Amino acid sequence: MKIFSEEIVKEACELHGVTDLATATIGEILLVAQYLEGKTGIPFIRMDQGSPGLPPNRYGVEAEKAALDRGVGSQYPAAAGVRELKEAASEFVKAFVNVDISARSCIPTTGSVAGSFGSFIACTQRIPGKDKVLFIDPGFPIQKSQLRILGVQWREFDIYPYRGESLRAKLEEELSAGDIAAIVYSSPNNPAWICLDEVELRIIGELATRYDAVVMEDMAYFCMDYRTDFGKPYRAPYIPTVARYTDNYILLLSSSKIFSYAGQRIAMVCVSDTLFEKHYPALAERYDDAGIFGTTFIAEILYMITSGCTASSQYAYAEMMRLSCEGKINFTEDVRVYADRAAKMKDIFCRNGFRIVYDYDVNAPVGDGFFFSLGYGSMSSAELVRELMYYGVSSISLATTGSLRNGVRACTSRMRDELYPVLEERMKSFREDHK
């Protein structure tokens, strides 16, 4: 039996200008779910927005308060970032990724969204004719929305049929035209939680070098592949990264998930030193500067977007990174609850006829974490988004992430203990109504 009628869901959509739940953005799904919950008082199982569901790291909070008490709020922060954060970020990357990036090349941004936006601009303007972006999907829908704003074209492919060594031929096919400026992916992946392995990262790195494409590696879910014991500073295993296989890379490190510091909008863009120092005549001509990638990126692009990052947030991020390197913060354990939630939620769904859409990482079952993917019978992505909404479960269509497979993205961040029995009851009803 449905929790919400088609009529009230239609009312919610019309009120918020949502023409089709199948193609709705994360924000639109959020508005519909909030409206239904507020009007009826019936709690929703919120699997839509990937917003952290844990308290912010207390060391960051204390450091930010102390920074404000010192008066940092009275002055504009340097566009390149405060020294303490740049140095902490350089050390953090060394401690947990085992890659050397100088403090100069570590640049704070107001969240990774601003970081990717600025990176898209710099990468697609550096070489004439090399002006498109390649997405290894499924991926984060907002990044394509950014390209729409910029008027930048992109190509994409679903990685599911091209895992392992078979990725090489597909990637070569996409890059051979010579017009790809940047390659984008996340690992662990939003929305499927798949992780690229060393073979795949080596292939991406080798071809990025050959075709002079910049790899934008989104590390939003840093060390959160719990199948391997990552997160011990200066000790193997280190997280897999393309940075070991090319100098053409940008790493995006957000504070939102690993430190639950999403509200302060602080992230790091870590540019390889080789790319940071590289001279591009096209950038020099456009911006009337020296055309050095890193300095143009900071002074001519990022500064025009946000005029720098909130100073107090930078000191908070610096402190959390510093204490992590010293082993005083164990951020991987702090957020392991997401994996526990995913395991419980997957169990409920799968016992009631659902399946995990992206179920394997090459030869190993996909891990549990912040996101997972769900399918049901022969339902299309559009049908499943709509049907789940009637049963009080909000999600987004995999079609909006560049996936070619039918299903939805499920996020674990807003799940609470008291909602597991509710989810169980609703999915039993769903199964009975959709035999």
Domains and CATH numbers, the chain: 6-54+334-433 (3.90.1150.100), 58-325 (3.40.640.10)
- List Cβ neighbours of 213 (8 Å cut-off, separation of 6 or more): 130, 134, 175, 180, 181, 182, 183, 207, 248
- Separation between Cα atoms, residue 91 and residue 85, nearest integer Å: 10
For position 4, what pLDDT does the model report?
Answer: 87
What pLDDT is recorded for position 362?
86
Say what the pLDDT of residue 363 is: 84
Report pLDDT for 39.
87
Give the other-Cβ count within 10 Å of 153's Cβ.
12
| pLDDT, tens digit, 9 for 90 and up, residues 156-172 | 999 999 999 999 999 99
* Of 409, 402, 413, 401, the residue nearest 384 (C-alpha): 409
The rounded mean pLDDT for the chain is: 95
Which are the contacts of 376, defined by CB distance < 8 A and separation ≥ 6? Answer: 353, 354, 355, 384, 387, 407, 434
Token duo for residue 180: 């790809």
Share of the chain above pLDDT 90, in %: 87
Q: Which of 395, 403, 399 lies closest to 426, judged by CA?
A: 395
Q: Are 377 and 302 contacting, i.e. CB atoms less than 8 angstroms apart?
A: no
Closest among 285, 272, 274 to 126, alpha carbons compared = 285
* Rounded distance between C-alpha atoms, residue 427 and residue 414, angstroms: 18
Evaluate if residue 20 carries a pLDDT over 90: no
For the entire predicted model, the pTM comes to: 0.95
Q: What is the DSSP code (8-state) at residue 57?
A: P
283-338, pLDDT tens digit by residue?
A: 999 999 999 999 999 999 999 999 999 999 999 999 999 999 999 999 999 999 99
pLDDT in the model for residue 167: 97
Q: How many C-beta atoms surround the C-beta of residue 413 within 10 A?
A: 22
Residue 182: strand, helix, or coil: strand
Say whether pLDDT at 281 is over 90. Answer: yes
The whole-number pLDDT of residue 19 equals 83
Is 428 exposed, middle or buried (CB count within 10 Å of its CB: 0-12, 13-18, 19+)? middle
Residue 76 has pLDDT above 90, yes or no: yes
Q: Is the pLDDT of residue 262 over 90?
A: yes
Task: Determine the pLDDT at residue 55.
Answer: 94
pLDDT digits (tens, 9 = 90+) for 351-410: 999 999 999 998 899 999 999 999 999 999 999 999 999 999 999 999 999 999 999 999
pLDDT of residue 246: 98
Tokens standing for residue 66: 């102390």
